[in-house]
Structure 1
Amino acid sequence: MGDTTRPTDHTGLVVLDLDDCLAKLLEVPVGRLAFQLDGELSILPVVHTLDGVDVCFRTTGDSKIQAAIDRDPVAFEVDHFDASTRSGWSVLVQGTATVVDDEMDIRKLDQAARAPWVPPHEGPSTWVRIRTQSITGRALG
């Protein structure tokens, strides 16, 4: 059941290495950002890009920006599952959210940005960077 040449976890899922995790993060344009806001957990989809090992996304909303301004711990997840083959994978990034305010970084991120998955909003947008503390991934099948 799986690739015996690669490490597995206690459930038998294949442990993805850092390069595999980064490739998966680039493969899927929309991931889910988890953060705490006003004592409640929130999970929102965001279109993201990578800058090294940091996940970055643009937002015009207030809640994600507030989490970034506060330098709160956040989690970010991407995954894929194929029910017909019972195969899939998941990558989890944990880190601290910060607002990107350096003009050179903003230009670099604007060039790497993917098209938004929702219609663009009026008004300015803000880039948020997840300063990565850990990246883990698992694969099934």
Structure 2
Amino acid sequence: MASDSVHPVLEELDREECLRLIAPGGIGRIAFEDGEGPTMVPVNYAVDGESVVFRTSLEGRLNRSLLTAVPGGQVRTAFEVDAFEDGTHEGWSVLVRGGARPLEGEERERAVRVDPWPGGEREAWFCLTAREVSGRRLRRT
């Protein structure tokens, strides 16, 4: 039987702590509208200040959905990263909402490095600028 002194606590995380947690980069999920409804796919990412940089294939649904005909335009997206420990039932989750836009030319050359895990070309680079950042942590006390 679990001790009464050990109980789960769910705490809201501030923007600074959320950005610190996702700063190492890795794998997250990007949510977007693909014309058939809300969709979410995993991507490798890196953090640059308060922006998330990720790459995808030129032919993929993610690239087609995030391109805009308006120069400098952004597409509303959400990005989520989490980490959980099954054994302790502890972890955290961070949600970043904002506008994603393609990176081109010199801007792409200056962007933080993102190394995609999948094989093949990942020549479409995007930057999601954080408008909202929120998160929660579940811990035991």
Which TM class, normalised by the smaller chain length?
Answer: 0.7 to 0.9
Aligned residue in 2 for 1:106: 108
Aligned-residue RMSD, C-alpha? 1.8
**Structure 1 residue runs of 4 or more that deviate by more than 6 Å after TM superposition:** none
8 Å CA contact 1:28, 1:78 repeated in 2: no
* In 2, Cα distance between equivalents of 1:16 and 1:102: 36
How many angstroms does 1:28 deviate by? 4.7
Picking from 74, 80, 83, the partner of 1:80 is: 83
How many angstroms does 1:114 deviate by? 3.6
Structure having the higher Rg: 2
* In 1, Cα distance between equivalents of 2:64 and 2:115: 23
8 Å CA contact 2:94, 2:134 repeated in 1: yes
Higher share in helix: 1
Give the SS at the match of 1:106. Answer: helix
Alignment of 1:1-141 (within 5 A): 1=7, 13-60=10-57, 61-70=59-68, 71-103=74-106, 105-109=107-111, 112-119=112-119, 121-122=120-121, 125-141=123-139
Say if 1:102 and 1:76 are closer, same or farther in 2 by CA, change over 3 A.
Answer: same
| Residues 51-102 of structure 1: CA deviation (Å, up to 9, x unaligned) | 2101110111432222322332111000011121110000000011111124
Q: Percent identity?
A: 31
